[in-house]
Amino acid sequence: MNPSVVTRFAPSPTGNLNIGGVRAGIFAYLFARHQGGRFILRIEDTDRERSKKEYEENIIESLQWLGLEYDALYRQSDHTARYEELLHTLVEQNRAYVSKEEHTENGGRTEVVRFRNPNKVIRFDDLIHGTISVDTTELKDFVIAKSFTEPVFHFTNVVDDWDAGVTHVVRGDDHISNTPRQILIQEALDAPSMLYAHLPLILDGDRSKLSKRKGAKALTEYRDLGFIPEGILNFDAFLGWHPAHDVEILSKAELIEQFSLERVQKSPGIFNEEKLLWFNHEHLKKLSDTEFEIRLKTFSKQEFDARLVPLIKERAQTLAEATGLLAEYDFLDTASPDKNLLLQQSTLDAETTKTHLTALVGMLKKIESGNFTQSPVKEVVFPYATAQGRGAVLWPLRVALSGKENSPDPFTLAGLLGKEKTLARIEKARGLL
Ligand code: GLU
């Protein structure tokens, strides 16, 4: 535990937060919480043209949904005075200078602020990649602001990490190449150094970059497709990390407890939507029946019989699938089987089937109403079906009860329907033969 740890997630609001992009936030969060430290959300809206309020809202909504609570929220657009002040300081100290640049397009001139590069070798110990050392000479005197009120990403990023007391920068390894430049700025500002953990890339199953179509879908889209935060969190945590043991299904609390940067791999994490579905299904099954019922009611905006929950929970990988399954259970209200289906597309003999249904009515009548659940029904029906031929007995019974080609087994159905409805439906089916 190290409660002085401070991490941050610093997305740019230039698009909805996607399932790959949030991974850096998840790792920064898990690390901070594991250490008992702080986790900050910083909206990097320095690029005013590309930043949009709706994307900022999407980022916040997604993190809330996922359960990544942050201790503070900053926005770069609120810090312009601070950046301006520090740019002036650097220029006064001759660590940066104003440079008049010719515009190639229109021949006009503008002034930019350039960093006076000390041309040295920067070394840093990346917690995932090991020691990285770069000669910064080739970066030349790079631009840190387009004007005193228009700082660029490298500058604002460093100032904000410093001001927020960030101790560990956890981010994608596409930022490794930015780090030497950012350390130079940090040193010029006399800001304390921080530790870096650059996370491996996330690639698609065929090792190509994640695309919008595959994997780079927004978290809110996955939410609307019926994925639950527990599933997504667990899936994302495994993109480049895995715990010391084989258990894969982990709750948020377990992820926090087990997470360590030492176990983050260098090689790319592979995005696999099948695996995501699997994680989601496992977490759906872990929900209590009551909790599942609440989530499915909210998602499907439908009322339904709570006794369906255990049946649906086993089968549905997402809440959208569960909603689809609800429709399969509409026979609870009414069922109208047809003769052809009762006789399994006319492969069963009508007279024999009628005899079976009559026998079943006789047996089921003996079970008391209060005790008419799946297992007593199975106890009387199953031995009879085994003796007479299971298909010949159970098929027509199931169709009589559900009216459908596909449905749960007849014992479950009878239990759900209760004695009165079960007997009435068998009688009705018998009347068709
Ligand atoms: N705003 C940067 C991005 O979206 C984050 C940079 C960082 O985490 O330092 O990639």
- pLDDT per residue over 358-405, tens digit each? 999 999 999 999 999 999 999 999 999 999 999 999 999 999 999 999
Residue 214, pLDDT score: 62
Q: Which amino acid is at 417?
A: L
Share of the chain above pLDDT 70, in %: 99
Q: Let me know: does 112 contact 98? Beta carbons within 8 Å.
A: yes
330-347: average pLDDT:
90
**pLDDT of 42 strictly over 80:** yes
Reported confidence tier of residue 212, pLDDT bands at 50, 70, 90: low
Pairing of strands 168-172, 195-199: parallel
Tell me if 85 is assigned to some domain: no
Q: State which residues form the domain around 412.
A: 332-432
The protein residue whose alpha carbon is closest to atom 10 in ligand 1 is 11
Q: Are residues 279 and 364 in the same domain?
A: no
Measured in Å, residue 22 CA sits from the centre of ligand 1 at 11
131-143: average pLDDT:
97
Residue 205, pLDDT score: 81
Ligand 1 neighbours, Cβ below 6 Å, are 10-12, 44, 157, 169, 171, 175
Tell me if 295 is assigned to some domain: no
Residue among 175, 177, 181, 185 to mutate when testing ligand 1 (max atoms within 8 A of CB): 175
Q: Are residues 270 and 189 in the same domain?
A: yes
Asked which of 286, 317, 350 is the last residue of a domain, the reply is: 286
Q: Where do runs of H (alpha helix) occur along 9-79?
A: 22-35, 53-66
- Ligand 1 atom closest to the CA of 171, numbered from 1: 8
Q: Which amino acid is at 339?
A: K
Tell me if 365 is assigned to some domain: yes
Reported confidence tier of residue 303, pLDDT bands at 50, 70, 90: very high
189-217: average pLDDT:
86
Measured in Å, residue 180 CA sits from the centre of ligand 1 at 15
**pLDDT of 233 strictly over 90:** yes
Q: Are residues 261 and 364 in the same domain?
A: no
For the sheet with 6-9, list strands across it.
72-75, 38-43, 6-9, 168-172, 195-199, 121-126, 130-135
Q: Which amino acid is at 109?
A: R
Measured in Å, residue 299 CA sits from the centre of ligand 1 at 33
Residue among 157, 160, 167 to mutate when testing ligand 1 (max atoms within 8 A of CB): 157
| Residue-wise pLDDT tens digits, 305-319 | 999 999 899 999 999
Q: Are residues 338 and 421 in the same domain?
A: yes
Q: What is the pTM of this model?
A: 0.90
50-75: average pLDDT:
98
- Lowest mean pLDDT segment, chosen from 12-26, 123-137, 205-219: 205-219
CATH number at residue 61: 3.40.50.620
Measured in Å, residue 11 CA sits from the centre of ligand 1 at 5
Q: Are residues 50 and 187 in the same domain?
A: yes
Residue 281, pLDDT score: 98
Asked which of 232, 262, 286 is the last residue of a domain, the reply is: 286
More confident residue, 164 or 204: 164
Tell me if 146 is assigned to some domain: no
Residue 374, pLDDT score: 95
| Measured CA distances, 222 to 19, 280, 354, 402 (Å) | 8, 11, 49, 33
Q: Let me know: does 16 contact 220? Beta carbons within 8 Å.
A: yes
Query: With DSSP H G I counted as helix, E B as strand and the rest as coil, what are the percentages for the chain, rounded to 5?
Result: 50, 15, 35
Share of the chain above pLDDT 90, in %: 90
Q: Are residues 52 and 171 in the same domain?
A: yes
Cα gap 400→404, rounded to integer Å: 8
The protein residue whose alpha carbon is closest to atom 5 in ligand 1 is 10
Residue among 7, 9, 44 to mutate when testing ligand 1 (max atoms within 8 A of CB): 44
Cα gap 365→125, rounded to integer Å: 77
Asked which of 222, 256, 286 is the last residue of a domain, the reply is: 286
Q: Let me know: does 377 contact 411? Beta carbons within 8 Å.
A: yes
- Ligand 1 atom closest to the CA of 44, numbered from 1: 1
Q: Which amino acid is at 313?
A: K
Concatenate the DSSP letters of all residues of 261-278 into one string. GGGB-SSPEEE-HHHHHH
**pLDDT of 215 strictly over 70:** no
Measured in Å, residue 12 CA sits from the centre of ligand 1 at 7
Q: Are residues 182 and 279 in the same domain?
A: yes
Residue 339, pLDDT score: 95
Q: Are residues 267 and 347 in the same domain?
A: no
Tell me if 293 is assigned to some domain: no
Residues 161-200 as b or e (16 or more Cβ within 10 Å = b): bbebebbbbbbbbebbeebbbbbbbbebbebeebbbbbbb
Q: Are residues 337 and 279 in the same domain?
A: no
Residue among 6, 7, 12 to mutate when testing ligand 1 (max atoms within 8 A of CB): 12
Tell me if 390 is assigned to some domain: yes
| Count: domains in the chain | 2
CATH number at residue 388: 1.10.10.350
Q: Are residues 278 and 342 in the same domain?
A: no
Q: Are residues 218 and 351 in the same domain?
A: no
Tell me if 80 is assigned to some domain: no
The protein residue whose alpha carbon is closest to atom 4 in ligand 1 is 11
**pLDDT of 295 strictly over 70:** yes
Tell me if 135 is assigned to some domain: no
Residue 346, pLDDT score: 83
Q: Are residues 66 and 201 in the same domain?
A: yes
| Max avg pLDDT among 61-75, 100-114, 210-224, 318-332 | 61-75
Residue 213, pLDDT score: 60
Residue 1, pLDDT score: 86
